[in-house]
Structures are given as C-alpha cells and as structure tokens.
C-alpha cells in the first residue's frame, strides 16, 4: 500500500489553533467605559457565572488549564517556575502524581501557587480556589516565592532551575523583597493579578495589609506594583497558551479573565483614557511553510503597534478563515489537491486593523486515504476482581492486573456491579503506562448510596477526552474516537464537588495504531542507523539511485528539507542540523519514520 507522509502527518499531528471563545454578549455594557467605571463593570461581569469549586478540585482542573501543549508538547504539567521555553526542562511533573506533600529540593513535587497569596485573605472562599490566579508550580520554588510581591530583582538570593528569582527589589518606589518569573510568563502573571484586583474589588478592603493591592476598589493595585504589571503586560503579550487556559478556566468555573480576552482594557482602566486609534503596521513576507492533504502552514514577519498587536486574521481566497496570536499558523479543513490563496491582516486590542499583507499561494497534497487503524480490537480490560481494601473506608488502593498498575484514590473496594467494582469518591482511577494506544473506552458505572446524577472526566496522557455519566441506574458508556497511539495512561477523575460515590466496573478499551508512528514496511528501502546520529541519514535500497526526491517533515507536518535525486552517487543524505525529535522521510511515494538524537 502506498502511503503519503503528507497525509499521515496532516491527519495525525496538525492541530488547529484554538482561539478565544468569548460567549456572545459576555462583555455587554463595557463598551465606552474607562477607568473605575470599566473596572467595576468588568467585576460584575466576571463575578456573574463564577461557580466556586473546592480547593482540592484544582488538581482536577489543571489537566485542562495547565498542560504543556506548547513547549515540549508532552502532556506534562506546565509549571511556570520550571518550564524552559528554549531547551530541556530541568524536571517534569505528570498530572496526578508527585503532588505536594513535603519537599526538600526542586523537582520533589508540585502544588498550587496563589499568584495573589492566600494569607492576605485568610484562605477565604471563593478566592482560595479561583483557578484564574492559582497555577500548578514546583513546591520548593512556590515556597521560596512565599508571599512576596512580583517585581524586578536587583540582587538575587534565590534562583530557580529555570531562572525565576527572588531578591531585593530593583523596581522603582519599592525597596522590599520581590519575586521575578522568567520573561516568558511575566505577562501571564500580570494579567492574573489584574484579574484578581478586578474580580474581588468589593472585598479588597477586608484583606490583610500587603504591598500588592490597595484596600480600595480603584485603582486596586499599589502604584509601584501597577507600573510593574503594566510593563510586563505590554512586553509579554497574550499568548495562545493563555487564550487556551482562559477558555478552559471558563469551562471549569464559568467566568473569564477579561485582560486576556481584551488586553486593551488594561490601558483603558489604569492608563490613558484616550481610545487607541492607531492601526498596526502591515505584516510582511507571508509564505507557505508546509502542507498536507487538509492543511497549509503559513508564517510571516510580525507587525508592530503603538500598544499591542492582539492577533492576525487569516484570509483564504478572500474570506476570513481563522486567526492567530503569533506570526505563524496552520489553516485546517482544506480540500485535498486544491490550490488556495492567502493574505493576512494584523489587528490590535482596540480592533484597529492593518492593511492586508502580500498574498501567498499554496496547494494541499493528494489524499490517499486512511490515517490510522482502529479495528475495534480489544486492547485491554479491567474487571476489578483483584482489588482489596478496608471495608467501609475510603483510601488509596493499588493493584496490578495484566501487567498494568492501577491506583484509585479516595476509593473503596466493598461495592459491586458485576461482582467487584471500584468505588471512587473525590478521587480518581488511574493506570500506569499502557502500550498499544487507545481507540475507544467502555466502562460501566453506578451511583452508590445517596447523591445526584453527574459525570467523571476521562483523561488520556493528561488530556481530557470525554465525560463518563453516572446515575443510580447501572449505565455502560463508550467514548469513541479517542485515537491516541503509542503508550498511554488512563485517568478517570471526579467532575464535581458533590462527594458522590460512584462505582466503576468492566472497563475495557480498544487498540489504536497510527500509521504515521508505525514502522512502514517496504522492500524498497530502509534507514539506518535509526535513531540518526551526526545528521547522517543512510539509506539501503535495491534501486537507490532511482529515488527522485526525498522530503523530510516534522511531526507538525511542516516540510523542513528537500533533496532532489540525492542518491545518484552516494547512499546517505546530510540532514540540515535538525533538532532532536521524530521526523518522516518521504521517498517518492513511500515513507519512513526516523528519530534524530
């Protein structure tokens, strides 16, 4: 069977950018307001709909709000105090494990960092569990940050593994100790504190004395700190990660951070009250950087603006198709073997729009069908017959079945559905790493004792993939089209704060095999050694000299190297300093996966 790498990579690895999903009318009433009036109106808007969750439930929210889909893209916890945006992280945490607890050094465990310290409001609700200002961070660094305000450090007395630091203030008009995150997350921190000062403006007068917020609704932030936050907000604009987090937090607790949705609100409230009327400069050098059967990737030279460039609108054949917060994007949902024309326009936070860029033309590739294989073959089962525990006691239960280690927290083992079942209260059921991928998952549930109908969430490799409903009636649920290949972890987590007790039984899942991550068998050629070392890709083939073209793609479907008739006089190809990772080589109409070390 002939396999086109373009199709494979496109179907399996191209992920459409997710942009701000602001509900229609969410900010009604805010238009035309400035200063204290705008701040108070926003406070009303983001207070309405806020559904208070428990402090313990934050760990259940973090897989959707704080997962690394942006740097290593490995599904790990995105910790702003250990993330290294330009290299390898010093340590990595996985959702659901190594939660603090005690710690001695960095990398021991992670916990929950209140960007505005909870000691200043005596850990009162709803502030204590508001996910908009509480992020998962390394416990040791969180402890060193303590209750110190954020600012520019002069002389550091502590530096974390990723460069976050604590020390004497170099920020004007403040001489105390401050904490400074790395540049990548300064804007994130600023917008979290501005959110907090706005959401809880009516409560500021009740907070303990501190050097961050005032005791009055307006301005709400101490003047020296406000200068720091405004600078960070401007220099580190809203990122796609923040947009995604804002959307996930809205789904989690029902309200939004307005300074992510509308960065211009910062200037309108705390800066000049003169509306921004200056449009960004025109983006230039728009070019197509890659294509698959259904996507085309673009990049361009970024625009500038007197305040901030908020986004780029991407037009396909003259019609607005999507937007990007950065100067690159992948347009999805295109037809195979079709030529499209693109141009873009930059817009600022106030809605001013630039002139259109140059046009660029790109063509999608041929669709040869099939991107994965999910034959409804059962890959694994768990009937919970091997569990044991203390009767009438909720505890952490561990057991191993068919080579898989399972952990159920806040759970009991003395309830039944079809014989033994595991009953989870305010905890979760998680597996160790499982090979073979997962196509779909089926499980039977029943609400035990008293309570109301509800649901649990299913996470695969820390990414939410669906919900599992329950009621007092025995219910079997199948979540289809999960389609994750390779090694996977399964985690079923409580989706409410009602302390319902839910039994699970007869869990099973089907296999899923990505063609793109499977070895492609071909009698025509092979790559060696694999992994590749020293950027030398050697090829063995009966008709090596007849290969007309080799195309190298990364896992995002972007074409990174092309070589015409590379094997006329040699059996190797010199790679162009490719970073470590997984790649795909397309030899005419055949494909092969390889790894660069």
As a 3-state breakdown, the chain gives helix, strand, coil percent values, each rounded to 5, of: 20, 35, 45
DSSP 487-511: SB-EEEEE--SS--EEEEEEEEEE-
Tens-digit pLDDT profile for the chain (597 aa)?
222 333 333 333 223 333 347 999 999 999 999 999 999 999 999 999 999 999 999 999 999 999 999 999 999 999 999 999 999 999 999 999 999 988 999 999 999 999 999 999 999 999 999 999 999 999 999 999 999 999 999 899 999 999 999 999 988 889 899 999 999 999 999 999 999 999 999 999 999 999 999 999 999 999 899 999 999 999 999 999 999 999 999 999 999 999 999 999 999 999 853 456 789 999 999 998 888 778 888 999 999 987 667 789 999 999 998 888 788 888 888 888 888 999 999 987 567 899 999 999 988 876 544 344 444 556 678 989 889 988 889 999 999 887 788 999 999 999 999 889 999 999 999 999 887 788 889 899 999 988 888 899 999 999 988 899 999 888 888 888 888 877 889 999 987 777 899 999 999 888 775 533 333 334 456 787 778 877 778 888 777 888 888 888 776 566 788 888 888 878 778 888 788 888 878 887 677 778 887
The CATH class of 525-596 is mainly beta
Q: In what order do the strands lie in the sheet with 177-180?
A: 153-159, 165-169, 177-180
For domain 378-514, the CATH superfamily is Galactose-binding domain-like (2.60.120.260)
Contact partners, residue 221, CB within 8 Å, separation at least 6: 193, 194, 197, 212, 213, 214, 229, 270
Q: Is 291 helix (H, G, I), strand (E, B) or coil?
A: strand
Residue 531 is classified by DSSP as S
Phi/psi for 464 (5° steps) reads: -65, 130
CA-to-CA dists, residue 450 to 314, 501, 505, angstroms? 52, 8, 19
* Predicted pLDDT at 562: 85
CA gap 278, 238 in Å, rounded: 19
CA-to-CA dists, residue 521 to 8, 455, 515, 518, 590, angstroms? 15, 43, 11, 9, 9
CA gap 81, 112 in Å, rounded: 12
Contact partners, residue 327, CB within 8 Å, separation at least 6: 283, 299, 300, 301, 302, 312
* Predicted pLDDT at 556: 58
* Predicted pLDDT at 555: 64
Q: Other C-beta atoms within 10 Å of 227: how many?
A: 17
Q: Is 247 helix (H, G, I), strand (E, B) or coil?
A: helix
DSSP 429-489: EEE--BSS-BS-EEEEEEEESS---EEEEEEETTEEEEEEEE-SS-EEEEE----B-SSB-
Phi/psi for 325 (5° steps) reads: -85, -10
* Predicted pLDDT at 547: 84
β-partners of residue 213 are: 221
* Predicted pLDDT at 6: 30
* Predicted pLDDT at 118: 95
Contact 506, 443 (CB under 8 A): yes
CA gap 549, 263 in Å, rounded: 47
For domain 5-11+277-370, the CATH superfamily is Immunoglobulins (2.60.40.10)
Q: Do domains 5-11+277-370 and 378-514 have the same CATH topology?
A: no
Q: Enumerate the domain spans of the chain.
A: 5-11+277-370, 35-270, 378-514, 525-596
Residue with tokens 């995002």: 556
CA-to-CA dists, residue 263 to 46, 114, 158, 194, 255, angstroms? 15, 22, 32, 11, 16
Contact partners, residue 204, CB within 8 Å, separation at least 6: 197, 213, 214, 215, 216, 217, 220
CA gap 230, 236 in Å, rounded: 10
Contact 202, 43 (CB under 8 A): yes
* Predicted pLDDT at 370: 39
């Amino acid at each position: 069977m002939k396999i086109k790498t373009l199709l494979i990579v496109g179907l399996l690895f191209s992920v459409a950018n997710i942009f701000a999903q602001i509900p229609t009318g969410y900010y009604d009433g805010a238009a035309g307001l400035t200063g204290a009036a705008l701040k108070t109106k926003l406070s009303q808007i983001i207070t309405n709909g806020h559904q208070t969750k428990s402090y313990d439930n934050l760990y259940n929210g973090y897989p959707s709000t704080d997962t690394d889909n942006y740097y290593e893209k490995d599904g790990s916890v995105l910790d702003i105090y250990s993330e290294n945006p330009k290299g390898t992280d010093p340590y990595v945490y996985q959702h659901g494990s190594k939660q603090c607890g005690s710690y001695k050094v960095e990398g021991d465990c992670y916990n929950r960092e209140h960007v505005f310290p909870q000691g200043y409001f005596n850990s009162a609700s709803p502030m204590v569990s508001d996910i908009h200002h509480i992020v998962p961070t390394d416990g040791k660094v969180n402890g060193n940050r303590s209750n110190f305000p954020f600012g520019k450090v002069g002389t550091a007395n502590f530096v974390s593994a990723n460069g976050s630091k604590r020390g004497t203030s170099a920020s004007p008009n403040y001489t105390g100790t401050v904490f400074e995150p790395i540049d990548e997350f300064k804007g994130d921190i600023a917008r979290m504190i501005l959110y907090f000062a706005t959401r809880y403006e009516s409560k500021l007068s009740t907070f303990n004395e501190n050097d961050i917020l005032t005791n009055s609704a307006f301005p709400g932030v101490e003047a020296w700190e406000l200068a720091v936050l405004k600078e960070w907000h401007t220099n580190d604009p809203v990122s796609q990660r923040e947009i995604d987090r804002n959307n996930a937090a809205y789904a989690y607790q029902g309200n939004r951070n307005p300074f992510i949705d509308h960065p211009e609100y910062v200037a309108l409230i705390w800066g000049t009250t003169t509306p921004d009327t200056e449009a960004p400069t025109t983006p230039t050098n728009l070019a197509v950087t890659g294509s698959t059967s259904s996507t085309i990737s673009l990049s361009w030279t970024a625009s500038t603006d007197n305040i901030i460039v908020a986004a780029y609108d991407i037009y396909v054949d003259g019609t607005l198709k999507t937007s990007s917060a950065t100067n690159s994007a992948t347009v999805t949902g295109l037809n195979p073997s079709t030529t499209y024309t693109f141009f873009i326009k930059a817009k600022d936070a106030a809605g001013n729009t630039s002139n259109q860029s140059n046009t660029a033309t790109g063509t999608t590739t041929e669709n040869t069908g099939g991107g994965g294989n999910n034959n409804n073959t059962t890959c694994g089962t768990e009937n919970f017959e091997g569990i044991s525990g203390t009767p009438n006691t909720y505890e952490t239960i561990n057991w191993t079945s068919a080579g898989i280690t399972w952990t159920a927290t806040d759970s009991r083992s003395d309830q039944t559905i079809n014989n033994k079942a595991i009953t989870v209260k305010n905890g979760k059921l998680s597996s160790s790493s499982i090979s073979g991928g997962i196509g779909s998952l089926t499980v039977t549930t029943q609400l035990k004792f008293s309570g109301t109908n509800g649901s649990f969430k299913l996470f695969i490799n820390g990414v939410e993939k669906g919900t599992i409903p329950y009621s007092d009636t025995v219910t079997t649920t199948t979540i289809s089209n999960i389609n994750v290949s390779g090694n996977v972890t399964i985690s079923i987590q409580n989706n409410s704060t009602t302390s319902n007790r839910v039994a699970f039984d007869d869990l099973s899942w089907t296999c899923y095999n990505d063609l793109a991550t499977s070895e492609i068998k071909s009698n025509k050629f092979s790559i060696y050694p694999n992994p590749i070392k020293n950027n030398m890709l050697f090829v063995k083939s009966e008709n090596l000299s007849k290969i007309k073209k080799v195309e190298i793609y990364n896992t995002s479907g972007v074409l990174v190297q092309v070589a015409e008739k590379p094997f006329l006089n040699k059996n190797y190809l010199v790679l162009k300093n490719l970073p470590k990772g997984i790649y795909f080589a397309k030899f005419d109409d055949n494909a092969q996966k390889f790894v660069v070390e």
